Structure 1
């Protein structure tokens, strides 16, 4: 923003008025030294207005705004700051719980990790009070009687822009209403968007009739094609179109593309919603008080339904209707399917699906962020999921040991067939070997990186529970005193992730061996892990080959009589080699 503002000269005012411009008080209009009257035409200026170098304004009404250099504003019905505002900072978002039990106070530099703590750690009210006090101080810094538009922005065809702070290189093209919000650098707002009490982080794209109310939209998130959301948080690289979200915590890479899909009162990350997928968060008794958590990598098939409360393990595929409040968090990479009105679990079944591999490989390739404020771990083999693999093996062995001759087993509202239990044990054991080998192959043992104990997935970041508890305890003791210091602790762990993961894997391997592993034993574990990974990939590659085989060419080459033409059509459309 330019700071060499000056008042208009009498000749400049006269020239402006000849060009159809007017002001309620020309003395409150400030311009840069190189200002030329031809920068404005048919524009009304009300209250305090500052105009940057090279900025042009046409056919618009501006009230109480400072506008940066080289920005173009045209055909805006009203851009006004009617009262003092923090521009979306401090808005309380009722994420996950529609009855406001998990409200998060949003701000323009909020990360997924801090939002996770604010939403999930309600058992530590004093800690949250201290964090919110830091946010309140930031709100004071962000508050102003004057709205802002940054440098190199384009704002055209908008109707009402009220109490907005707009960063650099932002485009607003045909928005209907933007009110009490912040648009960070490089954001794009398209036609017919209505957004109230919100913050949009760097590189977001919100377009084509989207409606938002009390939302945080994270870096490089896309909301498009009439999507509507209220009381929701969306973090890095999420992409939602057509459907609806109500009171959700959408961690990184939350995806929903279908008109008939509803995401409500839940937590998601690395998630994909099939068409017609739905959840209900109340039982018509106590109101909308229940929540569901769908851990990293879950997918809803078309028509999937969950009655909250419910919890699924990481990378679970959900098919059918489920209304018994299951908890499958111990069983990652599973299928949860409806069978005869009940919830049946297929433990580890997703480990042989190429779809899961494709998802894991595509996410880092689709990271469009520049700032990368949210910390995201993409590692396939990690302590968080591997811990669940170990727990799953222990639970399945326990179930089988209690009744070796049973045909089915019941555990936390799901049933498991004996044949699927045995298959799951084999798959999980192979995945544990691959995971430990991969983690031992990276990083190094370090006294400063204690990775022992339980690991968490904090909205995309893998981190030890010990590290989170130590951070929150440090906040309580006033050893961590600012948002920046809190974020630094998350970042420090993120930078040393491989060392922490190595230490965790070394401890688990020692438990399995019954002694501290030698260097040779570690090398053997790494080699065994690589072999297990290769064997698992052979299985998933075979699954991919089946999906790409000519058996799947039904409906291709529709008008062809020749099998060769059918093959050519199929291969060319699918991008497969002609063999």
Structure 2
């Protein structure tokens, strides 16, 4: 860089430019002043060259340069187009080939955090902040902080590591990256805008990081208000959405006036029209309807029916209650769930559910509120066309670039965590039937649910088929799979850390390593979780082998026993697919499904 020459200053002044001190302006060696008009310079300003045209719209090229702008303490890279800045641009570094037009203010102020290091209270709306926002926050790290760090000591240790990482990487002033496009926007304050991002018509963006890339840019649309938040690669926030203290994860969409406060949205989540508060929306969470309120709940692979409502303010002690909808759970139109409540995987909630049920041990169930009671139809959702469509669509709908995914998303539905719950649920149903041999209904007081006898009997059979399908898919040999680098405890419980399915003891081990200092960096935590994910196939097959041994009450599995389980699994899968076909046929008859749609669906079942 060099200083301006006398001739260049003369040309700039002729072009109605002015500066409080021309000597504080530095320029690129090949700088030419002809493309700068009506520019006011204050403080230290660094300018690149403006010697080529740039595409502003498809088929519309304009010459780069700066016109009608006030610049204070900024650096501007080569071949930017900056014009019609209503107020000023202050304390920003702007990279090459960026377009900024018709903007009010872009500024960095003292104490800027860019939304990073922001501590937010999720789930318990009135509780202590339990998650720390930063630009690469994953669903696993959020789950570790909010759910699996069992003590304040563990949570604070994790947050301290993250806070140190943020402090080491936070820029001293705002940055606007390569080939960014910012148009028709009123105010951008204390915001990092990464490469290839686009902002068009936003109202206000403050204390925010837009973490884009050339492979997955961020788009912020008209009338958006975004404060104290993080928006990750591939995400879009559009159509008047309003965000405060939020994280919008990879390839997420927030639009159509959706409003959110103190909430997290991860990997491919889609939110329109409604609102969220203190919610943790894991991978593939979706809500499309105006009257839906997601508050104080954690969910993943979730779909909200219209007018879904959660009440975290059940009594008069404040908004202190929270709930958990495990992966694949749904709420039907008009569903109202009073928290606290826990809903098992792949279940459907219907009606007003007031009894605070815990259906964790009953995956694939219908949970139905009737008056003060909650009725459970266990396992019935296993054999529906809707569930089949869901479990097959998620792997195909990950919009994140394959080589840049941060959050781990295991879409395997036939997984050890759900199998473990189904086994426990089957045992509990059997116990209830045995203890009440003549009762038409069975009430499980500890779980605040009631089950019809016939539903319990059918549920047990469906759970057994589910387990047999799991075994047939994962028993490749009569011997337990070996991996000397991994220890597996077969009686373990399982964790779903925002899409990462691992034995629960591995989470405890991770927390212990953090407390002891053996893992003391953010990179170390992320690497350990990636390593655990890479062990998933071993964990799953070892768990399947353990179940097989328990079924035959033996220490060694014989070839005949393996063949028996494989045959049972094959029969179970055939029954499952046939039940799904029958469910689709029933819908096609009573809901006027076109014949072609039904036939195409049946072909996909491959039966």
Same structural fold, with TM-score higher than 0.5 when normalized by the shorter chain: yes
Residue of structure 2 in register with 1:151 after alignment: 178
SS in 2 for 1:285: coil
Q: Give runs of aligned pairs for residues 177-196 of structure 1, distance below 5 A.
A: 177-185=204-212, 186-196=217-227
Q: Is the 8 A contact 2:241 2:259 kept in 1?
A: yes
Paired residue for 1:563? none
Q: What SS class does the counterpart of residue 409 from structure 1 fall into?
A: strand
After TM superposition, the structure 1 stretch with the greater mean CA deviation from structure 2, 84-93 or 459-468, is 84-93
Aligned residues: 559
Structure 1 residues 573 and 345, CA, compared in 2 at 3 Å: closer, same or farther? closer
> 2 CA distance for matches of 1:216 and 1:236?
11
Q: 1:467 aligns with which of 470, 494, 506?
A: 506
Extract unaligned runs of 5+ from structure 2: 36-63, 602-607
Q: Counterpart of 1:327 in 2: which secondary structure?
A: coil
Matched, 1:160 2:190: no
The C-alpha deviation readout for 1:149-206, integer Å capped at 9, x for no partner, is 1111111111100001111110111111000110011111011110000011111111
The CA deviation at 1:437 is 2.0
Distance 1:417-1:149 versus aligned 2 partners, 3 A rule: same
Name 2:536's counterpart in structure 1: 497
- The 1:31–1:553 alpha-carbon spacing in structure 2 relative to 1, beyond 3 Å, is farther
Residue by residue over 1:213-266, the C-alpha shift from the partner in whole angstroms, topping out at 9 and shown as x without a partner, is 000111001001100000001111000000000010111111000001000011
Shift of residue 301 of structure 1?
Answer: 0.4
> 1:373 aligned to 406, 417, 422, which one?
406
| Greater displacement, 8-17 / 413-422 | 8-17
Please give the per-residue CA displacement for 1:488-540, whole angstroms capped at 9, x wherever unaligned. 11100111211111111111211111113436233543443233223211211
Relative to structure 1, is the Cα distance of residues 62 and 31 closer, same or farther in structure 2, using a 3 angstrom cutoff? farther
- In 2 relative to 1, CA 498–15 (structure 1 residues): closer, same or farther, beyond 3 Å? farther
Aligned to 2:352: 321
Of 76-85 and 448-457, deviating more is 448-457
| 2:81 paired residue among 36, 43, 56 | 56
| Map of 1:560 onto structure 2 | none
Structure 1 stretch displaced more, 332-341 or 511-520: 511-520
Q: Which residue of 1 aligns with 2:462?
A: 427
Distance 1:352 1:20, change over 3 A: farther
C-alpha change, 1:239 and 1:575, in structure 2 (3 Å) is farther
Aligned-partner Cα distance in 2 for 1:180–1:246 = 19
Indicate the SS of the match to 1:448: coil
Q: In the alignment, what sits opposite 1:529?
A: 569
Task: Report the equivalent of 2:326.
Answer: 295
Whole-Å separation in 2 of the counterparts to 1:7 and 1:193: 40
Matches within 5 A, 1:92-111: 92-111=119-138
Inter-partner Cα distance in structure 2 for 1:28 and 1:575:
73
Question: 1:255–1:271: 8 Å Cα contact kept in structure 2?
Answer: yes
| Equivalent-residue separation in structure 2 for 1:513 and 1:450 (angstroms) | 24
Shift of 1:545: 2.7
- The answer as to whether partners of 2:149 and 2:511 remain within 8 angstroms in 1 is no
Q: C-alpha deviations, 1:353-377, integer Å up to 9, x for none?
A: 1101111110111100122111111
Query: Measured at CA, do residues 367 and 13 of structure 1 come closer, stay the same or move farther in structure 2, by a change above 3 Å?
Result: farther
Alpha-carbon distance change, 30 to 85 in structure 1, aligned in 2, over 3 angstroms: farther
Structure 1 residue ranges without an equivalent (≥5): 555-569
Change (3 A) 1:528 1:450: farther
C-alpha separation in 2, matches of 1:544 and 1:28? 73
CA deviation profile, 1:281-330 (whole Å, cap 9, x unmatched): 01342111110111111111000001110111001100100111111110
Label 1:576 to 1:358 Cα distance change in 2 as closer, same or farther (>3 A).
closer
Structure-to-structure mapping, 1:9-20, within 5 angstroms:
9-19=5-15
Q: Distance in 2 between matches of 1:198 and 1:498?
A: 36
Q: Distance in 2 between matches of 1:375 and 1:571?
A: 39
What is the CA–CA distance in structure 2 between the aligned matches of 1:64 and 1:438, rounded to whole Å? 59
Q: 1:8 to 1:175 in 2, by over 3 A?
A: farther
Residue deviations 1:92-123 (CA, integer Å, cap 9, x gap):
12111111335211111111111111112453
TM-score when scaled to structure 2?
0.88
Is the contact between residue 584 and residue 598 of structure 2 (CA under 8 Å) also seen in structure 1? no
Q: Could you tell me how far apart the structure 2 residues matched to 1:78 and 1:10 are?
A: 31
> Which segment drifts farther, 13-22 or 334-343?
13-22
1:47 and 2:72 correspond: yes
1:211-230 to structure 2, matched below 5 A, reads 211-230=242-261
Match of 2:550 among 498, 508, 511: 511
Structure 1 residues 91 and 340: alpha-carbon distance in aligned structure 2, compared to 1, 3 A threshold: closer
Deviates most, 322-331 or 528-537: 528-537
Could you state the TM-score of these two structures normalised by the residue count of structure 1? 0.92
SS in 1 for 2:191: strand
Contact 2:355 2:372 in 1 (8 A): no
